Structure formats: structure tokens, C-alpha cells
Structure 1
Amino acid sequence: MIVVLLNVYLALLFILVKLKIVPFNLFWKVSPVLVLLLLLIGLFIPMNWGAPQGPALVVRNSVAIVPSVAGEVIDVPVQANSPVKAGDVLFRIDPVPFEAQVQAIEAQLRFQETRLAEMTQLQTHGTGRTFDVEERQASVDQLRAQLEGARWNLDKTTVRAPADGYVTNLALRKGARVSSLPLSPVMAFIDTSATIIGVEINQIDARYLAVGQPVELTFKRTPGTVQTGKVESVLQAISTGQVQTSGLAVSPTAVHAAPFIVRVRLDDQGFASALPAGAAGDAAIFTEHVKPAHVIRKVLLRQIAITNYVNPF
């Protein structure tokens, strides 16, 4: 854009000189350099503060599916990359051992409840001890707790989708044996119930960012189009500023100004939901400062949207 404005000035200066409206003296000869400096200092550098621009990326939460119980897989009805709703079945584990455990505890519970009733009756008639009743009651309560846990395990033999989304890179098959170890996920589930769009803004340009400011975005996936949205949040931490618990002394590292991340919400949620995870683009945030530069930033963003037809990078 600065090249375009400078060329416009040069063309206008050429016409004025040819028409002899302005003399072609030393001042007018060096005026293009002065105009270039004025554009840089007065418009384009402040534009990065008033309307910062940065790369945008669509990300989605990924859930590592780890079954709560171990066993042999007997059914995998889900299809890779096919949309599923929250609660849909992902796969089933053989429930026979867990059903047997439930039945065994139920039988023990029925026996203990019968013995409790008998002991209570004897204690009521003065021929039984209170201690025996309390002991049987404790046994019944314990078995009820065990039964609740066994039923929970039985219910967890059917693994369901935690949210709306899809399973990707599906390799699980019938006959495989799965475990409940947290480091052994059996599939990756991509949550599509919420679309997260992050924009990287250089630290020197992030001084005026605030929640609610208007945003314009263009994505490689949809060249020639510009979407609108709002700043949802400005993340207050990045990994380079994070301190983790460690038994080691501080290890000095080279400090560099990593960009800050701004989370954006699109006005068109239907469009946002259709964006795949990993969709990249560019975004411009319009603050309350340097408003004359907003028009130029809008033009620049639309130039990027048009060049997205041929620019794959």
C-alpha cells in the first residue's frame, strides 16, 4: 500500500511538473523521500498500533479417549471423521465379566439384607444383640456401595462421545484389548461444539487491544471473502512466561518477544462451525486509536483475501 501511495504521488508530481504548475527544483526532487518518511512515521507505523494485523488459526479441543474399564472390544460403530452427537456410542467393551460381578454382589446383598431383617426382628423381641444388627447393617451398606461401583463399571463398558464432534485417525478394531491406563488412549476425539480462533499479535502492536473490539478475518480456505467478528479475550499468558515446579535451579534462556494470542469470535457462527481445525488466515483488529489508518488496513486485508486465490502460503 505504501508503494501504491508513493507511486500516486510521483504520478501527480510528474503531471504538475509537466504542466509547469510546480518548479522542478531541489525541494520537489527530494519531496518523494519526504513523502515516504511522512507515510511511514505518520501513518503506517502507527497503523500497526491502531489496527494490528496477524496470522489467524482455527483450533479445536481434542479429547484423548481412555476407557474407564479394561477389556476386549466387541463393537466399534463409529466411523472415522464422521460427525457424531454427544452421547453417541464410540465403542463397546465386552460386558460379561462386569455383569457377572454385578450379579454376584446383588446375590450377596440380598442374603445380607435377609440376615439384617432377621437380626432386627430378634433384637426387637429382645432375643438378639444390637451389635449383631449394626454389624449386618454395615455389611449391607458396604455391599450397596460395591454394587453401585460395579454398576458404574458395567455402564462404562459402553464408551460414548463426550460432545459433538468426530473421531479422527481411528485404528481401534473389534477384538482389540484396551486398558484404563491414562497414557494409553485408544482414539482421538475432536470436539466441534466450540470453535476457537486465535490471532497472533506482535507485542509491540498489542498495547491497545481490548475485549469487544471489531475484527476482520480472511481465511485461505475461502479466498476472496472477509469475515467479521469481535475480540473475545486477550490471553494473559504465553509459554515463555510460564514457570513450572522443578527441582532444578533457574536455567537461563534467550529471551525473545513472542507474539501474544487474541481469541476471536466470528459473527457468523455457521461459517465458524464449518471451518476445519487448522484453517489458517489473517486477521486485523481495529482499536479506538489511529482511526484514519483503519481504511488502509481494510484495503490491505482485502488484498490478502484476493491473493489467497493463488498464494498457498
Structure 2
Amino acid sequence: MEAILVGIYAFFVWLIFFKFKLLPWNTTSKVIVVTIPVVGLTWLILTLNVIAPSSADVRVIKYTVQVVPQVRGRVIAVPAEGNVHMKKGDVLFKLDPTPYEQTVRSFESQLASAIANAKNLGEQLKAATSKTEGIRAQLDLAQKRVAEFTELAKTEAGTKFDLEQALANVKQVKAELAAAEASERQVKEQIGAQVNGEQAQVAAIRAQLDNAKWELSQTTMYAPADGTVINNQLRVGSWVVPMPLQPAMVFVEDEQQILALYSQNELYNVEPGNEAEIALPTYPGEVIKTKVQSIVWAQGQGQLPMSGQIPQTGAQPLPPGRFAVKLELEEKHRDLFLAAGATGHGAIYTEHLKPVQILRRVIVRINSILNYLVLKLH
């Protein structure tokens, strides 16, 4: 763009000083002719960098999901194909569900038994209470006999053996009563132990059954969003385990971020909502309309790692880092496919000196057209 402006300026100089000779071509005019474009272009470039800052580092970033199964197992099907677009909820791969189905059936059987047992607890309590009362009656009778044999022994009307036998019977009945009372307490505790209104044993088995069903559901993995599986190496017969460091595949979502990186002093006039344009080599000749969503006022140099050591300051200052500006597509280009990792250039148009910003718009369009050039020799 600067070369075009210089060419236009040189054309008018030729007309004025050489074609029509309206002014003399002397030392003074030469100095003026050379000074005007130097000062003018310098002012123009410095002004554009403030009111319409440009960036040669615009990046398209997409979210990636490390697909890690929650359960282990042998892969029996892989419907997902590498680099083929999928919808949210499409099946990625399936594991052999047999062991998990067996676990579910086992807990279902245990739950049915526990529910039946819980329903019988009332009858068991009645039986335990009745047994306890019967043994108490036997104990009362045995104690009366001890009293009777004691009196007889005093008058020598009874034998010492009968008294000892009666005392032994009392001990035996007391032991039976203790066992019956323990059994009754156990039944009462089982009836009283409840979780969310359900008998505790039933609730525990139901929780195990729910977990078994959840594990069974995890034998089929689904696409977490609209996107694409990249470099799919998973095959039928592979064994996968729930380890974060060993994902089964990588899923790239369609959702994206567009970041433009700027130096610190380029952004003091930029505000959310400002118009912006980008040009990517993947779409040569096209200017993509965006707007500023936000400025990420943070970068790695603003963070010190957690350590017990005093941070090193270095022998010289670090090169200044850049700050990212998040851009969002305008409605016109909302459905435009942008490749993850695509790079390009762009500009942001602030609310200052809008007429001058026309030059920046022209530069963006020229650069977009230059994207048609494939500059390699083979």
C-alpha cells in the first residue's frame, strides 16, 4: 500500500515539475518533494498502528478432547473414522459389555433377594418378639422352681440335687433369653436402618447395581460434541484402559477460538465490540468479518511458578510477550469452516479517525489477494 501511495505521489510530482513545469525543479523543491512522502508515510503508518492495529499472527484454535474410557475392556466396534465429521452423540467405539452385563444381573438378583428379605423383616420381628416372651415365661417358671427347691432344702424335704438342677435350668434359660433378645435387636436395627426411606441393605445393593449399570453404559463411547476424530488408530481387538495418559483417541470439536496476538502498546484504543477483519491463506481473496470479543490481559510472563526457591531475574530483561485478542465471527461468516491451526493476518478498527482506516482496509484486502500466490519452486 505504501508503494502505491509513493507511486501516485511520484506521478503528481512528474506532472507538476516535468510535464507542465508549473514549479521550478531546484534544490528547495527537491528537498520538499523528498521530505513530504517521508514525513507523510511515517505519520500515516504510526497513526494506523494506533487507530487500526494490525497483526501478522492470527490463529484458529479448536478445543480437543482426550477420549478416555471410564472402564476397561476389549474393543468390539469402532464406527468412528479418522477425519470424518461426526455429530454429538454418534458412537465412537464400543467395548465388550459381557462382564458388565453379568455384574448387573448378579446385583439385580441380590437386590430382589434383599427386597424380599426386607418385606419379611416385620414377620421376623414378630417371631423374634414372641420367642423372647416365651423364653421370659420359661425363665420366670425356672426361677420359681429354684425358690421352691430352696425352701424344701431348708426343711430337708427336698434333695440338694434337685436344687442344683433347678439352678442349672435358670442359667440355660437366661442364655437362651440373651440370644433371643440379641436376635430381636438385630431385626429391629435392620428395620430402623434406612437410607432415603429404604432399608439400608437394599439401598446398598441398589447403589452397587446403579454403579454396575453405569459401568455397562460406559462400554459405548459417544462423540462429546460436533467434530472430528483425528488420526484414529483404534481398531477392533484393541484393549483400552481408563488411564488419562493413554487416551483411546483425540476428538477435535467444531467450536473454535480466533486469536490475534498484539504487542502491549497496540491495544490501548481497542475495546470489546470493535470491528475486525482477518485474511487466511485457506480462503485466498476473502476477507472474513469478525469483531473483538475480549482482550486476554494475561500471559506467561505474568506468572511465577510455585517454588521454594527465590525466582531468578536473569542477566537481562526478557523479550516482551504479546497479548491475545479473542475475535468472534460476524453473522455473515458464522458457518464458515476454519481449520484448526490455520494462521493469517488481520486488523482491528477502533472508534478513532475512521476515514484514515480505509488505508488499513485496503492493505488487508491486498494481503488477502496475495494469498493466491504459492511461493515455492517445486
For the aligned residues, what is the CA RMSD? 2.1
The SS at the match of 2:23 is coil
Amino acid across the alignment from 1:236 = W
Q: Contact 2:190–2:200 (CA<8 Å) still a contact in 1?
A: no
Between the aligned partners of 1:243 and 1:110, the Cα distance in structure 2 is 58
Alignment partner, residue 168 of structure 1: 230
Amino acid across the alignment from 1:102 = V
Amino acid across the alignment from 1:278 = G
Alignment partner, residue 187 of structure 1: 249
Between the aligned partners of 2:305 and 2:105, the Cα distance in structure 1 is 48
Amino acid across the alignment from 1:292 = P
The SS at the match of 1:62 is strand
Which piece of structure 1 moves more, 169-178 or 247-256?
A: 247-256
Q: Alpha-carbon deviation of 1:272?
A: 4.8
Alignment partner, residue 242 of structure 1: 303
Counting only pairs closer than 5 Å after superposition, residues 143-222 of structure 1 correspond to structure 2 as 143-192=205-254, 194-222=255-283
Q: Contact 2:289–2:332 (CA<8 Å) still a contact in 1?
A: no
Alignment partner, residue 233 of structure 1: 294
Residue 30 (structure 1) aligned with residue 31 (structure 2): yes
Q: How many residues align?
A: 312
Alignment partner, residue 98 of structure 1: 100
Cα 1:181–1:40, aligned 2, differ >3 Å: closer, same or farther? same
Amino acid across the alignment from 1:61 = Y
Q: Alpha-carbon deviation of 1:242?
A: 2.8
Q: Alpha-carbon deviation of 1:107?
A: 1.5
Alignment partner, residue 14 of structure 2: 14
Q: Contact 1:195–1:273 (CA<8 Å) still a contact in 2?
A: no
Residue 72 (structure 1) aligned with residue 130 (structure 2): no
- Gaps (5+ residues) in structure 1? none
The SS at the match of 2:309 is coil
Alignment partner, residue 323 of structure 2: 260
Q: Alpha-carbon deviation of 1:236?
A: 2.0
Between the aligned partners of 1:269 and 1:17, the Cα distance in structure 2 is 49
Q: Contact 2:121–2:191 (CA<8 Å) still a contact in 1?
A: yes
Q: Alpha-carbon deviation of 1:270?
A: 5.3
Q: Alpha-carbon deviation of 1:255?
A: 1.8
Alignment partner, residue 307 of structure 1: 370
Q: Contact 2:66–2:251 (CA<8 Å) still a contact in 1?
A: yes
Residue in structure 2 matching 1:131, options 163, 178, 189: 189
The SS at the match of 1:274 is coil
Which piece of structure 1 moves more, 31-40 or 113-122?
A: 31-40
- Under a length normalisation based on structure 1, what TM-score does the superposition of the two structures give? 0.92
Q: Contact 1:16–1:22 (CA<8 Å) still a contact in 2?
A: yes
Q: Contact 1:6–1:32 (CA<8 Å) still a contact in 2?
A: no
Amino acid across the alignment from 1:45 = L
Q: Percent identity?
A: 33
- 1:113-143 Cα offsets, whole Å, 9 max, x none, are 2111111344368555411323582221111
- 1:202-243 Cα offsets, whole Å, 9 max, x none, are 222111111111111211011111121211121121222233
Alignment partner, residue 345 of structure 2: 282
Between the aligned partners of 2:119 and 2:275, the Cα distance in structure 1 is 71
The SS at the match of 2:85 is coil
Alignment partner, residue 163 of structure 2: none
Between the aligned partners of 1:134 and 1:73, the Cα distance in structure 2 is 46
Which piece of structure 1 moves more, 244-253 or 122-131?
A: 122-131
The SS at the match of 1:60 is strand
Between the aligned partners of 1:36 and 1:273, the Cα distance in structure 2 is 41
Between the aligned partners of 1:150 and 1:77, the Cα distance in structure 2 is 25
Q: Contact 2:74–2:96 (CA<8 Å) still a contact in 1?
A: yes
